[in-house]
């Protein structure tokens, strides 16, 4: 794992420096918030290329990573050649975001609401999409769940939503009045593996 606050040469990428990746990140952020509220917004950080790389290829001046709001990232840099095609750039950013979330927060994201499997970003018919391997027989073709940037919040139970709202609005005294409203939203069988605690470190 890398921490841009501990890595002296890392810098935050300013808006507009890499417009294709910047726009892709906004879409990926939407999907992150849809399934993991409180984790975004993600940002782009850049590290200078190693000196020996610069000698070979003048074009590679720095590497760009997808980082958490606190500056940590995990995994590979965004492939510069992917920027030529927005759909591929979007899939690249989605994949990098996924690696960062998994490597830094130990959370599988995004999860298919139907099959409860971690999905993977890819490009299909010229569009960046989230694919799930579930459905049909084992080893079957799987299915496309949503375009990247188009994930809904379909599977959070009412009880979970209420818990999130409560966490967000803890300072709001009006919340106490909502206690008796719709209190049988969940049946308790939905704990799953969401909300794993932060790794120590
Ligand atoms: Zn699925």
Mean pLDDT of the chain: 80
Q: What distance lies between CA 120 and its chain's CA centroid?
A: 11
pTM, rounded to two decimals: 0.72
The distance from CA 55 to its chain's CA centroid, rounded to whole angstroms, is: 34
152-176 exposure pattern, b = at least 16 Cβ within 10 A, e = fewer: eeeebeebbebeeeeeeeeeeeeee
What value does the mean pLDDT take over residues 148-176? 66
Q: How far apart are the first and last CA of the chain?
A: 11
Q: How far is the CA of 111 from the centre of ligand 1 (A)?
A: 8
pLDDT at 70 over 70: yes
Domains in the chain: boundaries = 2-111
**Can you tell me the distance from the alpha carbon of 200 to that of 82, in angstroms, rounded to the nearest whole number?**
34
In the reported structure, the alpha carbon of residue 1 is separated from the centroid of ligand 1 by a whole-number distance in angstroms of 29
* Dist. CA 60 → ligand 1 center (Å): 38
Which positions ≥6 away from 170 have C-beta within 8 Å?
Answer: none
Q: How far does residue 144's CA lie from ligand 1's centre (Å)?
A: 8
Give the separation between CA 94 and CA 119, rounded to whole angstroms.
Answer: 11
pLDDT in tens, 98-110: 999 999 999 999 9
| pLDDT tens digits, 100-141 | 999 999 999 999 988 999 999 999 999 999 999 988 666 567
């Amino acid at each position: 794992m890398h921490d841009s606050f501990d890595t002296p040469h890392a810098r935050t990428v300013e808006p507009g420096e890499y417009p294709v990746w910047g726009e892709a990140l906004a879409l990926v952020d939407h999907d992150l918030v849809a399934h993991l509220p409180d984790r975004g917004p993600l940002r782009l950080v850049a590290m200078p290329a190693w000196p020996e790389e610069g000698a070979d290829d003048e074009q590679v001046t720095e590497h760009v990573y997808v980082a958490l709001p606190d500056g940590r990232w995990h995994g590979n840099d965004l492939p510069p050649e992917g920027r030529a095609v927005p759909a591929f750039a979007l899939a690249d950013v989605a994949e990098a975001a996924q690696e960062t979330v998994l490597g830094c927060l130990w959370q599988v994201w995004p999860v298919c609401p139907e099959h409860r499997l971690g999905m993977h970003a890819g490009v299909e018919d010229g569009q960046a999409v989230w694919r799930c391997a579930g459905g049909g027989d084992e080893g079957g073709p799987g299915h496309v769940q949503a375009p990247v940037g188009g994930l809904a919040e379909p599977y959070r139970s009412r009880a979970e939503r209420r818990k999130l709202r409560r966490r967000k609005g803890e300072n709001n005294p009006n919340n106490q009045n909502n206690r008796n409203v719709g209190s049988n939203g969940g049946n308790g069988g939905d704990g799953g593996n969401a909300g794993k605690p932060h790794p120590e470190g």
